[in-house]
Amino acid sequence: IFRWSKGIKKPDVSVVEYKKAKEKASSGKLTFTKTVALEDPESDFKNTLQYEYYNSMRK
């Protein structure tokens, strides 16, 4: 369950390729980054998730 106050605008969420997302966010300032590595040795599964947050109001 998620709650928020009235009048708060929810962020726009979209799934795009990394290159296109980087181009779109290039005008903002990088404020946070996190990388998570997922591995399962039994099934030989490996994946890396990279989170980057940009603030377009700061420059």
Q: Write out pLDDT tens, residues 2-40.
A: 777 888 888 788 888 989 988 888 888 889 999 999 999
Return the pLDDT at 22. 86
**Residue-number span of the structural domain to which 32 is assigned:** 18-55
Return the pLDDT at 47. 94
Q: Is 50 a domain residue?
A: yes
Q: Is 27 a domain residue?
A: yes
Q: Is 11 a domain residue?
A: no
pTM over 0.85: no
What beta strand segments (E) does 1-59 contain?
A: 29-40, 45-55
Res 43 pLDDT > 90: yes
Look at residues 32, 33, 30 and name the one whose alpha carbon lies nearest to residue 59.
Answer: 30
Res 49 pLDDT > 70: yes
Confidence of residue 59 (pLDDT cuts 50, 70, 90): low
